[in-house]
A and B are shown apart, each in its own frame.
Chain A
Amino acid sequence: MLNSQKNNSISCTVPKQSALVVGNGLTASMVVAAIKGVGLDVTVSKFGSNSSMLFHCFDNESLMTFPDIFDEELPTVDEQQWEPTNIVPREDGFVVTFDSGKSHKFGSVFLAIEGTLKPVPKDLPADVSTITQDTTTPFGSSVCFLLDYEEITNPSIGMRSIRMALENQIAGGRSFVLLRQTPVKGLLGETLYETARLAGVRFLRYGTELPRIERLSTSVESSFRFKVSILDIIESGEEISFDCDRVFVGSNLIIERIPDGFRNLLSEETDQQGFLIQDSVHCLTGKSFHRGVYCVGPSSGCVDLFETNMAAASAAVDAAAWLKLANAPQPDRKMSITDQCIRCLTCIRLCPHSAITMNAEPSRSNLEFSTVRCLECGICVSECPRTALDLNSFLEDGFSSFIDRLKTEISENAIVVYGCYRSAGRAISEINLPENVLFFPVSCAGRLSESILSATLATPVKGILILGCHHGNCRSNNGTDWARLRLSNMAKRLGSLFGKVGAISYKTLAPNESSRMLKLIIDFSGLVREIY
């Protein structure tokens, strides 16, 4: 593998304007259309299932008029069967290595794989099937749609069920929908529900007791027969039983295998269920902590056709913006490095934005700092063992002169508040600080190295309060965790060395919590006063 990588030089044909789309189904098609719409070139890596996991509650005819998708021929694109095994961010894009051993450079990468549906719960008869977008209703027969059985059915799948129940009813069949929560998604959700009810679709709501579905023995082979019993908690409060020909169960999505390349890149950006978080805090348009990486559709937990289409458009627009930025003449450098650097590569490992790279050849050449990727958190600066790094807009010197000032020019009972500019730095504009409080905005709570904190404590100040962003809301992913970790390290040492426990504290905050910020500061002042 190593050899093959070495032998294949990286191809660089208009890399900045090209996008890689990984996926094989409707999601990938929509992403391709969206990217073409903003004028970028696309390469598709056909990975994963080609069966669409996207749901909508319209009839297929009207869907053909869906703008930006079916109103024109899909563009022809370069298609490959490869799986991306490694994705490495670079200054102006990504170097993607495929399982074929080849490497290519792309300006942005899109994960647009489909998903699979959870199978029919084991306690239901074998002939029960899951609801898919392509399920054609067996018109004219008696059909039961069972939603919310093991957990709340995804509303997009639930809405599809209501549409199918309605179509079946109109075609002369009988439809039953068994549920706990009626899905009424979107502006027209309520109207669809109402239309279905008026057309005669029977909605039955169950509570803690699950409906029972039994398979009836039947002499006619072509027709299934089920007996359904449900304790209806709304209309009658009684148990209702009926027979029907088919039973469909509304399921939920499970994520398909994520290609290794993306898994490694986005390891910290998944939720409890394994879906990728597409709404990372500093964006809501489908991109992740690494700018230029986008997750659209089922991999982010979305099974709605329209939402996926919007996410595709948003991601494409953001990718175009990102490429414009990456291609533009770069402003002044954000980082500086001195010859103290011993190439220990700590900074490369820690950078949450993949903004630091190093060319392997010539051996251990200089570090490169991407101006467009860097969000100036300064986590690298805080952990550099040689103090060789600095942020140009939040200089180490700024801390030093601030700390120097603390040695002389402060009032009695002074406390220092170090706050992330993004949360505390904004919240402070709406409050009046008590006179003994000195506020110093920092690029990120994770910028506060133990040496800065120790130096601050060595001055006559009576305490330090660190205000970071809430856990899970840090723009640099783990800056807030760094602050917490350092504080607990220091508290241990301070407890034994100086007896100043409690003189240093860490709290989290949002920009719209001005009042809480003031209370935190006042409480901390009180605590400090108690200690002394």
Chain B
Amino acid sequence: MLALPCKNKDKEVLISGMRDHTSGQVVIVGGGIAGLITARLLSENGIPFAIIERSARLGGHTKDWACMATDKCNRCHSCAVFDYEDLVASSPNGEILLRHELFSVTRSKSGLHSVGIRNLDSGAERELHSMALVLAVGFETFDPTEKGFWGYGTFEGVMTLSDLNSLMRLDELNKLRPDNEKPLNLAFFQCVGSRDKAIGANYCSQYCCAAAIRAALRILHKYPDSKIAIFYIDLQISGKVARTLVDQAQEMGVRFLQGVPGEIQPSEDGELKVIVERNGRNVVERFNRIVLSTGQRPSSSASAISSMTEAPLNEFGFFQTRSQLDLVRSPLDRIYIAGSCSGPANIPDVAMNAGKVVSAIIRDLELAI
């Protein structure tokens, strides 16, 4: 058992058989970018960790994203996950448990957790002693078939932002060009599955505006003859990057159109048509591709992990934090929420959030130097 340097160690009475309040590991549930950054900061501060990840690889959603560089890096941060993965994998004081899931969490009087994990392949079970539990289970991308009128899965040419990213990652953007000759005429629909009270997603997904603009820039870099429109409700990009990205896109000829059309219909000539309101009149616009900027929904494993850990969920199904002001602690002691499982976030936000999680653990558990 690893013992950590602890500034108030003399306060602790160590009775034989009873553990020091800082013994064990910080158990991180989820090996996406939030889990990785948390692990890296814990490890570099000498705090042992274990990452439990259901899938067979680290990196989560970020690994599925494509690089958005044009003639320069556009700071999409998707490559950061590779840097973090290497840093974490080479940590001397960490364990990475791929293809493992949580099956039980029991809390002792001292607040320490005993965490039962199971190997998804062999079924072998193990117990981890956790001085703190970090929930970093991420998000689920909204499934647009939930709302049929965008024709996702029905009309050829309608795809999600994730689908577009997969194509970009495989360098297969040419597949989007009809006959590979006609210029691409593409529209982004923002807020698909976000800011939508009817489906319980009455919030902004935070990442999609910037992601759509970066994707537009990347497409125009590769195929300058493309025509791109972005239908939006309100552009949500923070001050610093907003001006640079929006200006760049406008210079490249991207049209920003307020109001997201409610319906997509196939046209007679095999294209897609949407009805757009312009100056009080309905106008038909035609596109050959439409990208749905799908929002972030709570992780499918959130409710199971919530009932196992007793960490409550909020009205939207994300993990509840201790207050509107404390964005990293769960209402339960020694349970922390990292990354997008407490609410939609982009990569830089997740990084800051993970830093705050580690800082809270260091304070609460008195692990400071």
Contacts and interface: CB of A to CB of B under 8 A. Distances in A.
Q: Determine the main DSSP class of A at the interface with B.
A: loop
Contacts of A417: none
Nearest to B70: A470
A423 interface: yes
Interface stretch (B101-109, B129-137, B345-353): B345-353
Contacts of A434: none
Contacts of B236: 155, 181, 183-185
Interface string B348-369: 1101111110111011000011
A402 interface: no
Interface in B239-288: 239-240, 242-244, 246, 258, 279-280
Interface in A183-200: 183-191, 194
Q: Determine the main DSSP class of B at the interface with A.
A: loop
A67 B359 CA distance: 12
Nearest to B62: A512
Interface in A266-290: 271-273, 275, 279, 281-282, 284-286
B358 to A, nearest CB: 5
Given A279-B75, A284-B80, A187 B316 contact: yes
Contacts of B243: 151-152, 273
A321 B344 CA distance: 28
A66 B329 CA distance: 12
Interface residues of A, number: 85
Contacts of B71: 471
Given A154-B238, A321-B45, A313 B359 contact: yes
B1 interface: no
B292 interface: no
A318 interface: yes
B171 A519 contact: yes
Contacts of B171: 513, 515-516, 519
A58 B244 contact: no
A422 interface: yes
Q: Chain B contact residues (Cβ within 8 angstroms of A): what range? A: 35 or more
A273 B369 CA distance: 37
Contacts of B349: 307
A291 to B, nearest CB: 11
Contacts of A152: 235, 237, 239, 242-243, 246
Contact of A67 (B77, B326, B351): B326
B325 A66 contact: yes
A49 interface: no
Contacts of A77: none
Contacts of B235: 152, 181
A317 B195 contact: no
B142 interface: no
A499 B361 CA distance: 63
A422 B239 contact: no
B67 A271 contact: no
Nearest to A313: B359
Contacts of A324: 44-46, 369
A253 B239 contact: yes
Contacts of B368: 37-39, 320
A142 interface: no
Contacts of B237: 152, 155
Contacts of A24: none
Contact of B73 (A63, A194, A471): A471
A469 B82 CA distance: 13
Interface in A120-176: 151-152, 154-156
A322 B45 CA distance: 8
B239 A184 contact: no
A27 interface: no
Contacts of B37: 284-285
A471 B44 contact: no
Interface in A178-235: 181-191, 194, 205, 207, 233
Contacts of A321: 41, 44-45
A325 B244 CA distance: 36
Interface in B317-343: 318, 322-327, 329, 342-343
Pick from B234, B237, B354, B362 the residue with the most CB of A within 10 Å.
B234
A314 B355 contact: yes
Contacts of A205: 258
A515 B73 contact: no
Nearest to B355: A314
Interface of B: 7, 37, 41, 44-46, 63, 65-67, 69, 71-73, 75, 77-80, 82-83, 169-172, 195, 202-204, 206, 233-240, 242-244, 246, 258, 279-280, 314, 316, 318, 322-327, 329, 342-344, 347-349, 351-356, 358-360, 362-363, 368-369
Given A154-B239, A187-B342, A284-B77, 5 more contacts: A155-B237, A303-B239, A306-B327, A512-B78, A519-B171
22 contacts: A66-B325, A66-B326, A67-B329, A67-B360, A68-B359, A152-B243, A181-B234, A181-B236, A187-B343, A191-B202, A272-B244, A284-B80, A286-B352, A300-B240, A310-B356, A311-B352, A317-B355, A321-B44, A473-B73, A510-B69, A515-B170, A515-B171
